Amino acid sequence: MTLLTLHNYFSALAFVFGTIVGSFLNVCICRMPKEESIVSPPSHCPNCNYRIRWYDNIPIVSYLLLRGKCRGCGAGISLQYPLVELLNGILTLLLFLRFGPTLSFVALFLFSSGLVVITFIDIEHQIIPDEISLSGIVLGFVFSFFLPWQSWLNSLIGILLGGGSLLLVAYVYHWLTGKEGMGGGDIKLLAMMGAFLGWKAIPFIIFTSSLFGSVVGISMMLIQKKDSKLAIPFGPYLAFGALLYVFYGRQLINWYLSLSTLGGG
């Protein structure tokens, strides 16, 4: 077996593993907002309680074979299920291609999987589970003692800067308007990002998530013809900014600095 064949084999395994974990993430997405156990009962149809057999629970494949319907009652299965599996599979593959079978891959795989859960829960319920963000802060800080590109001090400052910056924004907004503008979940989420990625990632994440969120938010308000009071969850945009930093952060920062240097010259 050549090195290229071996590399392709492990890359395929990484994708499949990501989709399998994605199937579990779907359980978390559906049950955590309801404060239900993610362990029991086993996966079942919410419409008829039909217990899903293993052959009907193969990521992506089973959804296609069943044509998006429950085998027991024929009720439609949400497209979210294969979408989460596919998304997590792609993210796992990209992380493996970037970092290989290293501790960095393990840390960022757990980080990105948590962001997938947070994104879909925040979109539907406008909440960010403390079970993920708070445990993620601790986990990210622990990993910082072992990762080659991270240090415990960098992680600690990232936690304080990430949580503190949004806390300051929330305080100022409340002081100016008397209204709640930034949820506590977003504050803890950015602190988690600082724990995993370090303090240097925080300005990048805030800028890109705010930019992307503004573009999408304004577009949605124009399409739906609603005013600025439309509630838009910020968690998915923070997740987008964090993943963009993981894969392209340094390149984008260097590109921006090069433009600044040329402009200054």
Contacting residues for 108 by C-beta, under 8 A, at least 6 apart: 95, 99, 196, 246
pLDDT band at 49; cut points 50, 70, 90: confident
Mean pLDDT of the chain: 88
In the DSSP assignment, the letter for residue 50 is P
In the predicted model, is pLDDT for residue 264 greater than 70? no
- The token duo for 107 is 């840390």
Contacting residues for 51 by C-beta, under 8 A, at least 6 apart: 42, 43, 44
In the predicted model, is pLDDT for residue 64 greater than 80? yes
Helix (H/G/I), strand (E/B), else coil: 69: strand
The average pLDDT across 25-38 equals 93
Helix (H/G/I), strand (E/B), else coil: 48: coil
The average pLDDT across 26-48 equals 88
Share of the chain above pLDDT 70, in %: 89
State residue 107's pLDDT score: 97
The model carries a pTM of 0.89
For residues 60 and 85, is the Cβ–Cβ distance under 8 A? yes
State residue 41's pLDDT score: 82
State residue 141's pLDDT score: 97
In the DSSP assignment, the letter for residue 78 is P
- The token duo for 60 is 């992506």
3-state helix, strand, coil in the chain (%, to 5): 70, 0, 25
Q: Which residue has the higher pLDDT, 88 or 73?
A: 88
- The token duo for 196 is 């995993």
In the predicted model, is pLDDT for residue 103 greater than 80? yes
In the predicted model, is pLDDT for residue 161 greater than 80? yes
CA distance linking residue 21 with residue 101, whole number of Å: 17
